[in-house]
Amino acid sequence: MPAKVILNPYSNRWKAKKRWPQAESALIAAGVDFSLAVSEHRLHGVELAEKAVQAGFSPIIAAGGDGTIGDIVNGMARVKKGGHLGVIGIMPLGTANDFVCNLNMPLDLTEAAQVVAGGKTRTLDVCLAGEQFFINNSALGLEPYISVIQHKMIFLKGIPRYLAAAIKGIFQNPSWEARIEWDYGSYEGPLTLISVGNAPRTGGLFYMAPHADPADGRLTAVFVEKKSTPALLALLPKAMTRGDKFVSADGVHEIHSTRIRIHLKSPSPAHSDGDLFPSEIDNLEYKILPGMIDILAP
């Protein structure tokens, strides 16, 4: 059975569609036997992945960005229903390609195709946000609030769009009253954001969960208490730096847990793997599903 490539042509503001011939040539040159399915609307990738698994295709190859990978993981999960999801490969055609970078995998399409052809895998954890599966990052509060802003931006593209949206969101400075519970503790009070990571980087620039490990069987979450706009601006460069600067700042808390429950007094936007939830939410439970997927990796 050949691999199934699921292309999201909209990734990176339609650049994925333009780059697909290059990716296709790279896969063919690497000797990968595959058939192609093209996503035509939001969440179509979930449906295509579900059908591909039911038909016995393996691996499923995501040709797109982090949201495309997330869609495919959710489609695979629909079929497997609690069991090991299978094998996924990645042809990075997205804007940020955070998950690929977090795993130190190649962004070059020729090299990425060779990784797929090599057949070597890494077993990684999968995360659950309510009923939504994700593999890189999910968040409530300021982070998805910024995602809403950047989706509305027309003139900026790529990583500068993320940064401009972050600055605009910080100046608007929304906050929420929250109760957070995890394996060994809890927090109750004003909240600016909570970011739950299976891997360190998100948004192309931000190490929101710098100590997250996608194979350690734990969620890594960072939450920030209510901050003034100047204090949030001071945190921004720290969040863009690997290491401890962000999580060691005043009012920033890092936790490691197998389960996290969040209750907000007022609803917030939420996202998983960059894909915004269809509506704002006020309650969400996160869980870790250890060793649930194999990724084709160097």
Q: Is residue 129 part of a domain?
A: no
CATH number of the domain within which 19 lies: 3.40.50.10330
Does residue 159 surpass a pLDDT of 80? no
191 and 104 in one domain?
Answer: no
Share of the chain above pLDDT 70, in %: 100
207 and 272 in one domain?
Answer: yes
Q: What is the mean pLDDT of the chain?
A: 95
60 and 148 in one domain?
Answer: no
67 and 182 in one domain?
Answer: no
Task: State the SS3 of the chain.
Answer: CCEEEEECCCCCCCHHHHHHHHHHHHHHHCCCCEEEEECCCCCHHHHHHHHHHHCCCCCEEEEECHHHHHHHHHHHHHHHCCCCCCEEEEEECCCCCHHHHHCCCCCCHHHHHHHHHHCCEEEEEEEEECCEEECCEEEEEHHHHHHHHHHHCCCCCHHHHHHHHHHHHHHHCCCEEEEEEECCEEEEEEEEEEEEECCCCECCCECCCCCCCCCCCCEEEEEEECCCHHHHHHHHHHHCCCCCCCCCCCCEEEEEECEEEEEEEEEECEEECCEECCCCEEEEEEEEEEEEEEEECC
216 and 158 in one domain?
Answer: yes
Question: What predicted TM-score, i.e. pTM, was given to this entire model?
Answer: 0.93
211 CB contacts (<8 Å, ≥6 apart)?
Answer: 200, 220, 247, 254, 256
CB atoms within 10 A of CB 160: 12
262 and 165 in one domain?
Answer: yes
Which among 59, 86, 119 is the end of a domain? Answer: 119
161 and 217 in one domain?
Answer: yes
Which among 64, 91, 119 is the end of a domain? Answer: 119
Place 203 in a pLDDT band, splitting at 50, 70 and 90: confident
Does residue 155 surpass a pLDDT of 80? no
Q: Is residue 128 part of a domain?
A: no
Does residue 281 surpass a pLDDT of 90? yes
Which among 119, 146, 176 is the end of a domain? Answer: 119
215 and 257 in one domain?
Answer: yes
Q: What is the mean pLDDT of residues 33-40?
A: 97
Q: Which domain holds residue 107?
A: 3-119
CB distance 66 to 78 below 8 Å? no
Q: Is residue 298 part of a domain?
A: no
The predicted pLDDT at position 272 comes to 95
CB distance 242 to 207 below 8 Å? yes
Q: Is residue 126 part of a domain?
A: no
164 and 112 in one domain?
Answer: no
Does residue 89 surpass a pLDDT of 90? yes
- Flag the least confident range among 144-158, 256-270, 275-289: 144-158
The predicted pLDDT at position 162 comes to 80
The predicted pLDDT at position 42 comes to 86
105 CB contacts (<8 Å, ≥6 apart)?
Answer: 90, 92, 112, 115, 297, 298
CATH number of the domain within which 283 lies: 2.60.200.40
Place 154 in a pLDDT band, splitting at 50, 70 and 90: confident
Domain count, the chain: 2
The predicted pLDDT at position 37 comes to 98
Q: Is residue 53 part of a domain?
A: yes
Amino acid present at 48: L
The angle, 0 to 180 degrees and rounded to 10, between the axes of the packed helices 15-29 and 109-118 is: 50
HSE-CB for 21 with a 13 A CA cutoff: 1
147 and 55 in one domain?
Answer: no
Q: Strands 121-129, 87-92: parallel, antiparallel or unpaired by DSSP?
A: unpaired
250 and 276 in one domain?
Answer: yes
Amino acid present at 4: K
Q: Is residue 296 part of a domain?
A: no
CA distances from 216 to 100, 168, 194, 219, 230 (A): 18, 35, 20, 8, 35
